[in-house]
Chains A and B, each alone.
Chain A
Amino acid sequence: MVYNVGVQQNISNRAVTPSFGAEKQEKRSKCENHDAIMVAEMKKHPISTNLKIQADKFVNACTKYPKKGLSGSKNANFYEFLTMGSVPYVVGSAMMIGVFNAASKFFDTPAAKNASKLGKKMGLGVLAYGLAKTASKKLIELPVKWKHGIDVNMPYKKVVYELPEEGNKDNLVTHEYHKVFESVDFPRWDLLYGNENFGPERNAYFEKVAKKMGMDDGDLEHADQKVKPKIKEKLVQTKVFSTLASYLWAGTAVGVAMQKPWESLKLGKGFVKDFGSKFVESCKQFVKNESKGATIAGRALLGAAVGVTLLGNFMTLFDFNKDKGSKTQASTSLIDNSKEKVVC
């Protein structure tokens, strides 16, 4: 048998129906793109929106995507595969904590005490790794956002039309959370045009970025053409430096978590105060340890993290390619625009 059902036939049964521009007849009548940039939500409720996106992705990564993936669905895609990557992170972190803590309850008291000392440090180390890795990226990303107006994490909700398949012929529309700039080769420029949140002009976003980047030479009519290569260049730099710095900060955080004061950390009353004082003490020990080697190594690790972060800030906030023009591989034009051509 051959399926004859098409997407259009099926979407009529769906809860979310794609609009073909009927609501905004006054502007354009052609089929509108349903992928929606979430700039308004991010402006109003940045934290809750982010949490919502992360929660939605993680729940799907644990439930829907494995189901699709394991059944070999033809609708499974790379986004789902990447999103499922959060599962080993979370489960792996829990396992790491477990490896050092789970068996200690069977041990007798002194052994349990020793195991618990190490377990506490390892547990904290795992949490510190994740926390520092995520938080430290902001040290590079936020200054870029403030200075150039480029939010590398700007999310958009993508509507995906799936193919009907065995066991699912009706519920064929689903959504994914992407980032406008997740690809440096193909940023979703289309989503940045004509968005009221950036301004009334169709080009408003690019005009704003051009101004912020000091590219306002009085002619902003084609700001998008001017600014796109620059945005790509800054995206690459922001990504590479935030990645490098994040792992160095994560290493530093684990180093702090491995200090002695944590061994006596107790849950219960006064935990926050206790945690705070132990954190301060551990940071001190990290840069000034009783072992000279550890002091040097600790300072080197911290120095590398701070150094890469500052270098990242320096490289991303200032424009060193201004005069030479952008050399971004992804942005280099391959085609001579002055010649007429036909693509076959």
Chain B
Amino acid sequence: MTNVLNNIIANQPIKPAKQAPLPAFTFNAEGKIKPLDDKAKLLPSRIFGSPIEYVKDLKQDVVNIGRAATGKANDHELGRINDVAMKLGSLGLAAYLFAKNPLKLSKAMEFVGFGTFFASMALWPKLAIQAPIKARTGVDIHQKYVDSQGRKKMLHQDPQYDLTDLYSREDLDKMGKKLGVSENLPDRDSFIKQRAKKTATQGNTLWMMTAGIATPVMSALACNRLEKPINNAIEAFDLKTSQKALETGKTGFFQKIKQSMADKAFSKFLAKNADKTVDEKMAGKIASYMGLNLNSASMQSAVASEIAGMTKAVTIDENFVRNALKGQVDDAIIASVVGTDAFKLAAQEGSLKNIATLLSQSAVEGKVAQQKLSGKLLATLGKAQKSGAKPTVGDVTEKIKGLYGSLSGLTSDKQILDRFVSARVGDKSGTYIANQWSRVCDGFIKSLGLNGKELKALADGDMSILSKKLAAISADDEAYNKVVSKLMKLIGDYEAKTGQKFIETVQAKSAQMSSAASEALSAGGFAEVAKKVSTEATKGTLKNVVDGAARERVAGAQSSFYRLLQSLDLFKRIGSSNAESKLAQMLKDAGKVADDAAVEKLIDAFRGIALSATATENIKKLKEVGIDLAEEEYKSIVKTLSPDLRFQLSSVLKKAGKPCNGTAVDKLLKACKDMVLNATTTDYVEKLKSAGFELSEKEYKAVMNVLFGEKAGSTIKASLGGGEQASAMLRGFGAYKSEFMSKVANWQNGMTPELSRCVVDAATNGANAIERNNLAGKPVSELVRDVAKQTYNSNKWLKIFGGTMIALTAVTLVAGLAIGRKSKIEKQLEQEGKQVNG
């Protein structure tokens, strides 16, 4: 009989035996326990580790945390867990600060700070200690090895735990060569190993002594240097994505989440309050849920009143009449009426008037009495209908949701438009306008070529330097052209992004979104709200808020930029105002004048005449004062004198009957410099007055025209040369000039504040104070002082900590040179051909 069991056993497929876990010990030939063979090996000596290895190690560390939680870990693993925990804790903190900071740049910088700190911690010893020492001595003080259990450790972590036996023949030879160990030394390897150990001990100590200073300073410096590029990257990203969103009409991912959360919260609120009556308070609460990003109180109140006005349909029937007229009309009378066809018809039509008439006709006799009763009953029925019509939230949920739905398109459009506007002209740091402001201001300050002392003086408010620097730039054509073209380029870009085209885009989009929303609301029967968002630009509507905010910010910064050009132009014109000497030379060369007095007399005569008049007229006038000129000579003199600033100003003074000699003009020019650099909207005239120039309205306008009007900007034009781009830029400047002249540079601005307030709006072509301020821009001195302060502070900080870092690096590198050197005894031993023993 076959043994079934044996068969089964015999037919079992032969499986390869599972590989037994590696033993922790082995047996020698005699069956005695002996330690396992050494499997430790050195890892390739590298300054920078492989990222793949890093990720692998990190994964293992996370696994180790799980094991350690149940008590399974060794010292090595616990040590590594500490590093992981430190990074996790720091990451948690960075995430918190990321959420806390409102600005994108600050958010980004939290993680940059986290990254640079740990990077500095890792990089400092590598770059300043490990690499130089390795290059000089061949010893990698952070050499890693894998032990027999597969754990990665530092070879020279513990000088008392000697693992130098892991060095290969090649390693030892390389180090020996670099360390200058004599090749004839007996037991040379041992000598090299000792030197390597010593070098590592020294290097590790140097690391501990310097890391405390190096890590935070290196990290702070890196953050400081990275801030600008990150800011620019965020700006570029915002500009691009907001442009795309405006074009496609799609909201961003986070906005979608935000909107979906708001939708859910709104539905939840409606469901929770379904049985509550919709009174004004409730309507306000509901409206507040709809106000997501509408930012307009009047919109909210329109929505609230729309909701408060919602009613529910009341069924007019027998019960309604009975309940409404209980106690007022006998049941018998009501019963007699409700059965009639006339009542049924009236109820169907919802005509309370007819019902009241029917009832009164049954109740009393006589037309007058019937009419009287009918009126009373109608009032009661009407009241009952109204109170019965007051709905609960549940009654009108669908309607409210309809309103919410009609508004949600507007909300989403508004978010897109807000993002578009905010990325360009938002009132916060990191936007295009803020960054462009910094670029223009920094560019201007840089072009002044200030040294540290001058920067400090400017930061402290010593503005005399500014005038000197502007005069110096004006005297140097190359420097002047450079700064003008730089500013014009930045302003040109600014105009392209925030100028008329931008305003038009915003206006068109807001009109489009308003009309779309308005149509949807009207179709849904929400007339009041529809009216609010209609395209009519009434005060307080959404449209005005959007457009107004954009306009003001654009104008404010733009004017400040142009004011920089105004001041450069004025200083250049002052600097190149040499027509008198040019004329003197010209006349002397032609043999026309005898001396300077004659030239002065000629110029003075020219000051008195209107150059706009015809040549013949003026030649005649000049003849009257004893100056006889041929037409050609006259034209040549006019050509020389007319563009000259000093001549232009002295002509104004002469015509005003005031002293117009060189001293007077110098005084006036000083006041003009003061004006262009320091004046605010209201004190242009004050600046002249305080310099002793009491001018009439006409004279004041003439001076302003010379400084900022038609004659201004000639040096800018000359500097830019020709070309389409230059013309486009100049067009912008020209438009600004004429607006400035019409709304700021006029007499009324110089009146006393009280009087000015009364007349100024009318006299400045309707410009209000904000608009005038925006047009005048920030006074150049104020702008320069602010930027100088920032630059000074940031330079000072950089100087202190950059200096610290340089000094520390130098000290560390020098100290590194002393590392790995032979001691006296070692030298002696080497000479003696011996080795250190123990």
A residues lining the B interface (CB < 8 Å): 1-3, 65-66, 68-74, 76-78, 81, 84-85, 87-92, 94-96, 98-99, 102-103, 106-108, 111, 115, 163, 166, 183-185, 232-234, 236-237, 239-241, 243-244, 246-248, 250-251, 254-255, 258, 289, 291, 293-294, 296-298, 300-301, 304, 311, 315, 320-321, 326-330, 334-335, 341-344
Segment touching A, from B229-237, B491-499, B576-584, B795-803: B795-803
Contacts of B488 in A (CB 8 A): none
Structural contact, B78 and A247, CB atoms closer than 8 A: no
Structural contact, B72 and A236, CB atoms closer than 8 A: yes
Known pairs A247-B88, A327-B72; A291 contacts B102 (CB<8 A): yes
B194 to chain A, nearest CB (A): 8
Structural contact, A77 and B32, CB atoms closer than 8 A: no
Identify which of A72, A255, A293 gathers the most chain B CB atoms within 10 Å of its CB: A72
Structural contact, B92 and A301, CB atoms closer than 8 A: yes
Contacts of B828 in A (CB 8 A): 1
B781 to chain A, nearest CB (A): 15
Structural contact, A251 and B90, CB atoms closer than 8 A: yes
Partner of A90, one of B71, B82, B212: B212
Structural contact, A240 and B97, CB atoms closer than 8 A: no
Contacts of A301 in B (CB 8 A): 92-93, 95-96
Contacts of B819 in A (CB 8 A): 72
Partner of A247, one of B89, B102, B801, B838: B89
Which 8 pairs of residues, A with B, have the shortest CB-CB distance?
A247-B89, A69-B205, A91-B212, A233-B71, A78-B158, A72-B198, A297-B99, A88-B212
Segment touching A, from B214-222, B612-620, B679-687: B214-222
Known pairs A76-B159, A78-B159, A96-B216; A84 contacts B92 (CB<8 A): no
Contacts of B97 in A (CB 8 A): 255, 258
Known pairs A81-B158, A184-B78; A294 contacts B99 (CB<8 A): yes
Q: Restricting to B790-838, which residues have a CB under 8 Å from any CB of A? A: 790, 793, 796-797, 800-801, 815, 819, 823-825, 828-829, 832, 834, 837-838
B802 to chain A, nearest CB (A): 11
Question: Can you report 25 A-B residue pairs in the complex whose CB atoms are below 8 A from each other?
Answer: A1-B832, A72-B819, A76-B159, A76-B201, A81-B204, A84-B205, A89-B212, A95-B213, A95-B216, A103-B793, A103-B801, A108-B460, A184-B78, A236-B71, A237-B69, A237-B71, A243-B81, A246-B89, A293-B100, A298-B96, A311-B69, A329-B72, A343-B32, A343-B34, A344-B34
Residue B68 at the chain A interface, CB threshold 8 Å: yes
- Chain A binding surface, main DSSP class: helix
Contacts of B32 in A (CB 8 A): 341-344
Structural contact, A87 and B90, CB atoms closer than 8 A: no
Contacts of B161 in A (CB 8 A): 78
Structural contact, A291 and B100, CB atoms closer than 8 A: yes
Known pairs A78-B160, A184-B73; A247 contacts B216 (CB<8 A): no
Partner of A320, one of B70, B82, B86: B70
Whole-angstrom distance between the alpha carbons of A239 and B205 in the complex?
Answer: 27
Whole-angstrom distance between the alpha carbons of A232 and B68 in the complex?
Answer: 11
Identify which of A95, A248, A255, A296 gathers the most chain B CB atoms within 10 Å of its CB: A95
Residue B435 at the chain A interface, CB threshold 8 Å: no
Q: CB-nearest residue of chain A relative to B94?
A: A251
Identify which of B28, B92, B215, B789 gathers the most chain A CB atoms within 10 Å of its CB: B92
Contacts of A234 in B (CB 8 A): 71
Contacts of B832 in A (CB 8 A): 1
Structural contact, A294 and B96, CB atoms closer than 8 A: yes
B96 to chain A, nearest CB (A): 4
Whole-angstrom distance between the alpha carbons of A284 and B765 in the complex?
Answer: 53
Residue B65 at the chain A interface, CB threshold 8 Å: yes
Structural contact, A243 and B82, CB atoms closer than 8 A: yes
Whole-angstrom distance between the alpha carbons of A103 and B803 in the complex?
Answer: 13
Structural contact, B823 and A248, CB atoms closer than 8 A: no
A165 to chain B, nearest CB (A): 9
Total A-B pairs, Cβ < 8 A: 226
Contacts of A2 in B (CB 8 A): 834, 837
Partner of B92, one of A107, A304, A328, A341: A304
Identify which of B75, B206, B815 gathers the most chain A CB atoms within 10 Å of its CB: B75
| Known pairs A255-B97, A258-B100 / 9 extra A-B pairs, C-beta < 8 Å | A65-B205, A66-B205, A81-B204, A92-B213, A102-B800, A240-B65, A297-B99, A315-B69, A344-B34
Contacts of A88 in B (CB 8 A): 208, 211-212, 215
Known pairs A74-B159, A320-B70, A327-B72; A297 contacts B95 (CB<8 A): yes
Structural contact, B823 and A166, CB atoms closer than 8 A: yes
Residue B202 at the chain A interface, CB threshold 8 Å: yes
B205 to chain A, nearest CB (A): 3
B287 to chain A, nearest CB (A): 21
B189 to chain A, nearest CB (A): 17
Contacts of B215 in A (CB 8 A): 88, 92, 95
Q: Restricting to B167-222, which residues have a CB under 8 Å from any CB of A? A: 194, 197-199, 201-202, 204-206, 208-209, 211-213, 215-217, 220
Residue B33 at the chain A interface, CB threshold 8 Å: yes
A318 to chain B, nearest CB (A): 12
Contacts of B319 in A (CB 8 A): none
Known pairs A78-B159, A243-B85; A328 contacts B72 (CB<8 A): yes
Known pairs A65-B205, A297-B100; A240 contacts B92 (CB<8 A): no
Structural contact, B100 and A294, CB atoms closer than 8 A: yes
A323 to chain B, nearest CB (A): 14
Known pairs A66-B208, A70-B206, A258-B100; A248 contacts B72 (CB<8 A): no
Partner of B793, one of A107, A166, A246, A293: A107
Structural contact, B68 and A237, CB atoms closer than 8 A: yes
Whole-angstrom distance between the alpha carbons of A166 and B838 in the complex?
Answer: 12
Identify which of A73, A106, A233, A247 gathers the most chain B CB atoms within 10 Å of its CB: A247
Residue B25 at the chain A interface, CB threshold 8 Å: yes
Q: CB-nearest residue of chain A relative to B64?
A: A240
